[in-house]
Structure 1
Amino acid sequence: MRELDALGPRLRAARRLRGLTLDELGDRAGVSPSTISRLESGKRQANLELLLPLSRHLGVRIDDLLSPVDADPRVRRPSIRRHGHVIAPLTAETAPMQTYKITYPPVERVPAPRVHDGYEWLYVLSGRLLLVLDETRTELEPGEAAEFDTRVPHSMSALGGAPAEVISIFSDAGMRVHRYADPDEG
């Protein structure tokens, strides 16, 4: 099974990404460092009794450690239409950060600011984008980027009567608000 072959390297990468040694993860998860080392090197068979505490203390899902190894790296997810926006996913649904190409339609009035958990990074590809953070209005041109905490009241809209295309990267919490389409939208 190719999924099990990828488990060790994924486990090691998750541990190293968090800056943990084998001993530190072992202490937190109640698993011996030598067992973790053997799991990471593929010399030990994984089971739920081992994976549950390790994944919990690494902050990853077991599915992330065991996801199938896909020979085709292309992302094939349908675009979402929401309030006139076109939201095209650019990353796999299981990716740790979600990236989207969002097309903002021209509007007559600036949308009301919203607040939600998360963090967002964006880059304007084409058109002009108005970013409102609290009371501050910033006009972004193609080639400009911005980042902000989405707990700050914010809204975005196209300027100048033409759509604005933006690449947006969301933290895990920040993406949930943007990826689910309203049932009434088409």
Structure 2
Amino acid sequence: MAETVFKQDPHKVRDKREKNLEVAIGREVRSFRHQRDMTVAELSEKTGLSMGMLSKIENGNISPSLNTLQMLASALSVPLTSFFRRFEEKRDAVHVKNGEAVEISRAGTRAGHQYNLLGHIGSNNSGVVMEPYLITLSETSDVFPTFQHEGIELLYILEGEVRYRHGDTLYDLKPGDSFFFDADAPHGPEELIELPTKFLSIITYPQSS
């Protein structure tokens, strides 16, 4: 049986790339305008471009000419090349298949809590680090309600039941419950009610930390 080969239409690929460029330029124009606390009307007055035209540019609906970009760059006091700065940047993604999450050592492992890291991206342009974990508590796990670390944390309970402390308050968490909190306060499982307990833990904190 002959193998079927699927080929992308080069015109569609080009059109998609051009559309992505228009969207990237529009986002930068809007971002610079907001940074300067400038309204669309004010930018229109400085450039001579209509507000409708500026709206289409910011929404990525049209491809602005070089002359138009030069007027925008002058009005916003930025280099023309700054409108393209994010278009060619590499954007990372991580796909962790079922059963392939890496088990790591973290503060809670000393209490018998199993941590599986679900993905990690190093340096990025968001300024925020996110650490997603699948945590498993079993018969061998200890209660440990005094975790403290920077950032904020979200828990989502998948199975089991745990009484969880945050500061001076206790929360009974069951499957389907979520818990979002400031991680700088003492927190952690106070009582393991139904085992095994599995939950997602997503921690975020500033990248500079």
Matched, 1:117 2:150: yes
Contact in 2 for aligned 1:130/1:140 (Cα 8 Å)? yes
Which structure 2 residue ranges, 5 or more long, are not aligned?
A: 1-13, 48-53
What is the aligned counterpart of 2:35 among 4, 22, 25?
A: 25
Corresponding residue of 1:18: none
What is the aligned counterpart of 2:136 among 104, 128, 151?
A: 104
Give the counterpart letter for 1:100 in structure 2: P
Structure 1 residues 150 and 171: alpha-carbon distance in aligned structure 2, compared to 1, 3 A threshold = same
Structure 1 residues 136 and 97: alpha-carbon distance in aligned structure 2, compared to 1, 3 A threshold = same
Matched, 1:86 2:119: no
CA–CA distance in 1 between the matches of 2:204 and 2:102?
A: 18
Structure 1 residues 11 and 112: alpha-carbon distance in aligned structure 2, compared to 1, 3 A threshold = same
CA–CA distance in 1 between the matches of 2:157 and 2:150?
A: 22
> How many angstroms does 1:97 deviate by?
7.4
Number of aligned residues: 151
Give the counterpart letter for 1:149 in structure 2: D
Alignment map for 1:30-109 (pairs within 5 Å): 41=60, 43=64, 44=69, 66-68=88-90, 75-77=94-96, 79-81=101-103, 82=105, 83=109, 84-89=114-119, 94=124, 98=130, 100-106=132-138, 107-109=140-142
Alpha-carbon RMSD across the aligned residues, in angstroms, is: 4.6
- Per the normalisation by structure 2, the TM-score is 0.49
Structure 1 residues 133 and 109: alpha-carbon distance in aligned structure 2, compared to 1, 3 A threshold = same
Q: Secondary structure at the match of 1:171?
A: strand
> How many angstroms does 1:176 deviate by?
9.8
Give the counterpart letter for 1:121 in structure 2: L
Structure 1 residues 160 and 148: alpha-carbon distance in aligned structure 2, compared to 1, 3 A threshold = same
CA–CA distance in 2 between the matches of 1:11 and 1:166?
A: 38
Corresponding residue of 2:168: 135
Larger relative contact order (CA 8 Å, sep ≥ 6): 1
Q: Secondary structure at the match of 1:117?
A: coil
> How many angstroms does 1:121 deviate by?
2.1
CA–CA distance in 2 between the matches of 1:85 and 1:176?
A: 24
CA–CA distance in 1 between the matches of 2:169 and 2:160?
A: 20
CA–CA distance in 1 between the matches of 2:79 and 2:191?
A: 51
Structure 1 residues 67 and 136: alpha-carbon distance in aligned structure 2, compared to 1, 3 A threshold = same
Corresponding residue of 1:181: none
Corresponding residue of 2:10: none
- Per the normalisation by structure 1, the TM-score is 0.54
Q: Secondary structure at the match of 2:36?
A: helix
Matched, 1:162 2:160: no
CA–CA distance in 2 between the matches of 1:163 and 1:134?
A: 24
Structure 1 residues 103 and 26: alpha-carbon distance in aligned structure 2, compared to 1, 3 A threshold = same
Contact in 2 for aligned 1:11/1:40 (Cα 8 Å)? no
CA–CA distance in 2 between the matches of 1:133 and 1:166?
A: 16
